[in-house]
C-alpha cells in the first residue's frame, strides 16, 4: 500500500531484500524445532540463490560462521540442518567463484577439521555419508585455504563419492556436488 508523505510516496509493505530476509531467518533458527529449522533453512537456501556476489560476500562473514558454530555447540542447531545450510552456501560461493575467507578464520572451520579427522580415525564405524557431507562443506567453504590433513582425507572421500554411478537425479546431484567441492582444492594437495 502506498501512502503520500511529505511530497513523496512510501511503500508500507516494502519488500525486504533477500539479504535482510536471510538475516531475519538466521536469527530465528536458534529458537526453532528441528523440523522448523529445516523449513527455515530451505527458505534461506532459496534466498541465497537470489543474492548477488556482493550480498553473499557481506552475508557469509566470520561472525555468521562463529554464530553457527556456537549454535551447534549449544545444540540449538542440529548438525544435519547446519550441513544443509552450509553446503548450499558453499555451492553458491563456488558457482559464483566468490573468494570469501570468512569460514577459514571462524571457529566453525576448526570444528569441521576436527570432525573430519575424528570421523576418519573411526575406520570401522565410520559414517561415510557424514564424512562426505563434512568434506563437501569444508572444501566448498574453504575456498583455497585447506589444511593438508583435511585434504588428504577429503580428496579420496569425495572421489569415492563421485565414482558412485547411480541413475537417479538426487544421486547425480551428490556426484556433481562432490566434484565441485574437489575443484576448489589447490593443486598442491592433489
Comparison of pLDDT for 125 and 12, the residue scoring more:
125
Comparison of pLDDT for 158 and 186, the residue scoring more:
158
Per-residue b/e over 11-47, b at no fewer than 16 CB within 10 Å? eeeeeeebbebbbebbeebeebeeeebbebbeebbeb
Residue 74: exposure state from Cβ atoms within 10 A (0-12, 13-18, ≥19): exposed
Question: Is the predicted pLDDT of residue 13 greater than 60, yes or no?
Answer: no
Comparison of pLDDT for 146 and 105, the residue scoring more:
105
Question: Is the predicted pLDDT of residue 180 greater than 70, yes or no?
Answer: yes
Q: What is the pTM of this model?
A: 0.81
- Closest alpha carbon to 68 in 57, 79, 58: 79
**How many structural domains does the chain have?**
1
Contact 142, 109 (CB under 8 A): yes
Mean pLDDT of the chain: 85
Non-local CB neighbours of 88 within 8 Å, separated by 6+ positions = 45, 48
Q: What is the pLDDT of residues 108-149, one digit of tens each?
A: 999 999 999 999 998 788 898 999 999 999 999 987 788 888
Q: How confident is the model at residue 163 (pLDDT cuts 50, 70, 90)?
A: confident
Q: What is the spatial distance between Cα 114 and Cα 120, in angstroms, rounded to a whole number? A: 10
Helix (H) or strand (E) holding 10: strand 8-11
- Closest alpha carbon to 107 in 70, 55, 160: 70
User: In which domain, by residue range, is 21 found?
Assistant: 2-189
Q: What is the pLDDT of residues 21-67, one digit of tens each?
A: 999 999 999 899 989 999 999 999 999 999 999 999 999 999 999 99
Q: Which residue's entry shows cell 570421523? A: 119
- Residue 3 pLDDT: 47
- Residue 187 pLDDT: 61
Amino acid at each position: 500500500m502506498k501512502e503520500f508523505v511529505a511530497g513523496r510516496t512510501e511503500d508500507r509493505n516494502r519488500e525486504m531484500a533477500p539479504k535482510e530476509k536471510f538475516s531475519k531467518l538466521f536469527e530465528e533458527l536458534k529458537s526453532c524445532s528441528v523440523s522448523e529449522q529445516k523449513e527455515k533453512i530451505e527458505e534461506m537456501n532459496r534466498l541465497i540463490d537470489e543474492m548477488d556476489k556482493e550480498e553473499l560476500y557481506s552475508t557469509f562473514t566470520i561472525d555468521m560462521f562463529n554464530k553457527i558454530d556456537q549454535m551447534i555447540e549449544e545444540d540449538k542447531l542440529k548438525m544435519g540442518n547446519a550441513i544443509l545450510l552450509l553446503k548450499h552456501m558453499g555451492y553458491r560461493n563456488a558457482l559464483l567463484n566468490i573468494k570469501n575467507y570468512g569460514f577459514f578464520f571462524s571457529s566453525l572451520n576448526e570444528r569441521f577439521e576436527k570432525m573430519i579427522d575424528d570421523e576418519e580415525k573411526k575406520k570401522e564405524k565410520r559414517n561415510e555419508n557424514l564424512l562426505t557431507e563434512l568434506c563437501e562443506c569444508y572444501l566448498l567453504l574453504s575456498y583455497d585455504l585447506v589444511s593438508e590433513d583435511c585434504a588428504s582425507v577429503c580428496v579420496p572421500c569425495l572421489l569415492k563419492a563421485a565414482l558412485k554411478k547411480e541413475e537417479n537425479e538426487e544421486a547425480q546431484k551428490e556426484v556433481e556436488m562432490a566434484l565441485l567441492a574437489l575443484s576448489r582444492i589447490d593443486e598442491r594437495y592433489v
